[in-house]
Amino acid sequence: MKEASKGVFQDLSQLLHQLIESNNRMLDIITKINGIMNKTKLLSLNSSIEAARAGAQGRGFTVIATEIQKFSEQSKAANNESLVVMKELNGQINSVIGVRTADVAYDLIDKIDRNLFERNCDVQAWSTFEKIVDYAVDPTDKKKEEVIALLNNLYKIYEVYHDIVMADNKGKVVAVGVNTELMGKDVSSADWFQGAIKTSGCSVSEMYYSESYKDYTVSYSCVILDKMGKIAGVLSTRFNWNYIYDILNKAKIGQKGEVYLLNKDGIVIASKRPDEILHRNLVETYPLVRDVIAGEEYGYEIESTNGALTGIIGYAHTKGYNSYPGKKWSVVVRETF
């Protein structure tokens, strides 16, 4: 049997980079050939002049010089056609990379949206659990122990949260899954508590740094309603933001490629460099990003300096998922050249 050939796996982004580099080398070669043809034509012209001076003795050489000139002109015409084709190919390659980069951004924001939608569903479902509702309505010590054990169990099972916190309708923490130091704390003025009280659904915070957990997080908060539909408390989760890093780190981009998750103001809230988080405004680095944030839901932009390609920025905006409206965040992927 014929043995199947084995190839070294290469990411599509790397292959596209190699393709455009090869194309650029071909453009350089065509330019050099044009230079040679110009010199050949000039040499043929000079030879014709010298042959004419030689009179009858130079007629044979004149014929040769004329044929060389024709060959030079034909070669240059063919070379110019090749140059047009190569430039068209170059533009098509750029478009392929642009679409590919935009597709990567779209795939990433879709994965992030799906993940955050699930977190949205979690807190809404848990806030209706019978043990949690009963404890919010009738807070006895026995029910408190049961709810604390429940929250801790949910924390262990789901593995994507820093913590799960429950407050009564006055804003006092009455149960917590992990950080017991929060027990009894007044959170009535906290954004997550106020956000839940003021909305009929789930309140989702922006990504922020939590001093309580010494890490980045997003809070998902939902009111706990009694049988009469009155607010008896608030249940709130602290999503572990490291799971968003995992999504970005698995993106199939070039070795020099960059990938970012931005909030609606262009601030980096996730990237492959943790030191950038909440400290870098990508608009200041790449002015095109301002148009990207305000632009279409999905697409790409080509960067160039003096007509030379320097980078391609693919982007996609969060569109939300089912009942989760999204946060107007964007994924930006930049391939450099």
Q: For residue 332, with 0-12 CB atoms within 10 Å meaning exposed, 13-18 middle and 19 or more buried, which class applies? A: buried
Residue 262 has pLDDT above 70, yes or no: yes
- Buried/exposed 60-73: b ≥16 CB within 10 Å, e otherwise: eebeebeebbeebe
Measured between alpha carbons, how far is 173 from 179 in angstroms, rounded to an integer?
11
Beta strands in 71-160 (DSSP E): none
Is residue 124 within 8 Å of residue 335, measured between CB atoms?
no
To the nearest whole percent, how much of the chain has pLDDT over 70?
Answer: 75
DSSP designation for 267: B
Tokens of 76: 């240059």
The pLDDT, as a whole number, for residue 303 is: 80
Per DSSP, 127 falls in state T
pLDDT in tens, 51-78: 666 666 555 556 665 666 666 666 666 6
- Stretch 87-115: mean pLDDT: 85
150-176 mean pLDDT? 97
* pLDDT for residue 4 is more than 50: no
CB of 189 closer than 8 Å to CB of 199:
no
Q: How far is CA 226 from CA 41, 129, 150, 232, in A?
A: 93, 11, 19, 6
Q: Give the pLDDT of residue 62.
A: 61
Lowest-pLDDT choice from 120-129, 135-144, 308-317: 308-317
Stretch (H or E) spanning 38? helix 12-53
8 contacts: CB under 8 Å, gap ≥ 6: none
Length of the chain in terms of residues written: 337
Phi, psi torsion values for 14, nearest 5 degrees = -65, -40
> What pLDDT is recorded for position 90?
72
- Selection from 1, 224, 269 nearest residue 109 by Cα: 269
- Residue 293's nearest CA partner among 318, 270, 273 is 318
- The superfamily CATH assigns to domain 119-242 is PAS domain (3.30.450.20)
What's phi and psi for 133, nearest 5 deg? -65, -45
In this prediction, residues 306-330 reach a mean pLDDT of 80
Pick from 290, 309, 327: nearest CA to 98: 309
Q: How confident is the model at residue 119 (pLDDT cuts 50, 70, 90)?
A: very high
DSSP 136-155: HHS--HHHHHHHHHHHHHHH
The whole-number pLDDT of residue 75 equals 64
Q: How sure is the predictor about 169, in pLDDT bands with cuts at 50, 70 and 90?
A: very high
Instruction: Provide the mean pLDDT of the chain.
Output: 83
Q: Which two tokens stand for residue 170?
A: 């006055």
Of 71-75, 128-132, 294-298, the range with the highest mean pLDDT is 128-132
Of all residues in the chain, the percent with pLDDT exceeding 90 is: 48
Is 50 exceeded by the pLDDT of residue 276? Answer: yes
